């Protein structure tokens, strides 16, 4: 994914990153600016049948909105949710993989930039190791 897609959401300052796996197969990477969380990107396994709107409803900075692209994405200026296609994991039966991004830096919301970032991030997750195409593989 092109790092320039992140730049609209990050204020000036010293950058660092923090990776976490808090629970249930969730993977999270936060970008810190001067030690403060400015941006977070997550992969999260969520109940099969739930929509991007359901996932968005419990994530800070992702404002309610209309799902786009056949229900694959939901965008706001400060957050978005995407549904990764074709991902399965035997340790998460009956769940779908979603991507979530959240902007915590003040005054850095940008919906048009989010509409470019979120599909790129979701596609990168779909191509990555965390997205197995066969639920029987490990």
What are the backbone dihedrals phi and psi of residue 8, each rounded to the nearest 5 degrees, phi first?
A: -65, -20
Indicate whether 94 pLDDT > 50: yes
Identify the residue with better confidence: 133 or 8.
8
What pLDDT, on the 0 to 100 scale, is given for residue 62? 94
Q: CA torsion 15→101→9→75, rounded to 10°?
A: 170
pLDDT of residue 65: 83
CA separation (Å) from 89 to 16, 103, 110?
A: 30, 28, 33
- Residue 136 has a pLDDT of 44
| pLDDT tier for residue 134 given thresholds of 50, 70 and 90 | low
Determine the pLDDT at residue 133: 59
Average pLDDT, the chain: 91
Q: Which residue has the tokens 């197995």?
A: 132
pLDDT on residue 137: 40
User: Parallel, antiparallel, or unpaired for β 15-20 and 73-76?
Assistant: unpaired
Q: What is the pLDDT of residues 33-77, one digit of tens each?
A: 999 999 999 999 999 999 999 999 999 999 988 899 999 999 999
């Amino acid at each position: 994914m092109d790092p320039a897609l992140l730049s609209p959401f990050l204020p000036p300052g010293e950058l660092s990153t923090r990776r976490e796996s808090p629970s249930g197969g969730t993977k999270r990477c936060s970008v810190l600016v001067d030690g403060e969380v400015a941006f977070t990107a997550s992969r999260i396994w969520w109940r099969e049948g739930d929509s991007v709107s359901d996932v968005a409803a419990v994530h800070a900075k992702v404002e309610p909105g209309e799902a786009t692209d056949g229900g694959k994405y939901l965008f706001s200026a400060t957050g978005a949710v995407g549904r990764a296609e074709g991902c399965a994991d035997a340790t998460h039966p009956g769940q779908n993989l979603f991507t979530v991004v959240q902007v915590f830096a003040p005054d850095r919301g940008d919906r048009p930039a989010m509409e470019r970032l979120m599909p790129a991030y979701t596609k990168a997750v779909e191509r990555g190791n965390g997205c197995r195409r066969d639920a029987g593989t490990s």
